[in-house]
Amino acid sequence: MKRYFGSYGGQFVPETLIKALSELEEAFIEFKKDKKAKREFMNYLREYAGRPTPLYFAKNLSGFSGSSVYLKREDLLHTGAHKLNNTLGQILLAKFMGKKRIIAETGAGQHGVATATAAALLNMECVVYMGKKDMERQAPNVDRMRLLGAEVVSVDKGSMTLKSAINETLRDWVKNVQTTHYLLGSAVGPHPFPSIVKYFQSVIGKETKMQIKRKENRLPDSVIACVGGGSNAIGIFSAFVDSGVELIGVEAGGESLELGKHSATLTMGRPGILHGALSYLLQDEYGQVADVHSVSAGLDYPGVGPEHSYLKDKGRVKYDVCFDNEALDGFKLLSSLEGIIPALESSHAVGYLLKHKKMFSGKIVVINLSGRGDKDLGIVRSKGVLDV
Amino acid sequence: MCKIGIYLVCDYPNSEKFLDAVTVCEKYGMDFLEIGFPFSDPVADGPVIEKAALDVLKRENSNDFLQSLEKARNIFSKKLYVMTYSNVIFGYGTEKFAKKTEFINGIIIADLPFIESERFARIFDKYETNTIRFVTPETDFSDIDEIKQSSKDFIYFVSTRGITGGKFSMDTETLKKIEYTKKGFDYDVILGFGIKNSNDIKTACLYSDGVVIGMKAVEALEQNNFEQFIGSLKQ
Ligand SMILES: Cc1ncc(COP(=O)(O)O)c(C=O)c1O
Q: Inter-chain contact A287–B91, Cβ cutoff 8 Å?
A: yes
Closest partner residue to B62 (CB to CB) among A11, A175, A286 is A286
φ, ψ of residue A308 in degrees (nearest 5): -65, -35
Q: Is A232 in the pocket of ligand 1 (CB under 6 A)?
A: yes
What's the mean pLDDT in B149-173? 81
What's the mean pLDDT in B184-207? 90
Catalytic hit among A72, A83, A261, A312: A83
What letters, b where the CB count within 10 A reaches 16 and e where it falls short, cover A303-319? bbbbbbbbbbeeeebeb
What's the mean pLDDT in A170-182? 92
Q: Where in chain B are the domains?
A: 3-229
Residue A283 Cα to ligand 1 midpoint, Å, equals 22
Per-residue pLDDT, B95: 98
pLDDT at A125 over 90: yes
CA B159 to chain A, closest CA, distance in angstroms equals: 10
Helix (H) or strand (E) holding A86: helix A83-96
With cut-offs at 50, 70 and 90, classify the pLDDT of residue B197: confident
φ, ψ of residue B164 in degrees (nearest 5): -60, 140
Best mutation target, A286, A289, A301, to test chain B (most B CBs within 10 A): A286
Q: Is A74 a catalytic residue?
A: no
With cut-offs at 50, 70 and 90, classify the pLDDT of residue B192: confident
Q: Inter-chain contact B161–A283, Cβ cutoff 8 Å?
A: no
Q: How far is CA A329 from CA A299, A341, A385, B120, in A?
A: 17, 12, 8, 46
Start-to-end Cα distance in chain A: 54
Closest partner residue to A12 (CB to CB) among B51, B62, B112 is B112
Q: What is the pLDDT of residues B103-133, one digit of tens each?
A: 999 999 999 999 999 999 999 999 999 999 9
Helix (H, G, I), strand (E, B) or coil at A99: coil
Measured distance CA(A117)–CA(A50) in Å, rounded: 14
pTM, two decimals, is 0.96
Best mutation target, A159, A173, A288, A292, to test chain B (most B CBs within 10 A): A288
Q: Which fold has domain B3-229?
A: TIM Barrel (3.20.20)
Q: Is the ipTM of this complex over 0.85?
A: yes
pLDDT at A360 over 80: yes
Catalytic hit among A25, A74, A99, A105: A105
Residue percentage of chain A with pLDDT more than 70: 100
Q: What is the pLDDT of residues A4-20, one digit of tens each?
A: 999 999 999 999 999 99
Measured distance CA(B103)–CA(B106) in Å, rounded: 9
pLDDT at A284 over 70: yes
pLDDT at A127 over 80: yes
Q: What is the pLDDT of residues A40-92, one digit of tens each?
A: 999 999 999 999 999 999 999 999 999 999 999 999 999 999 999 999 999 99
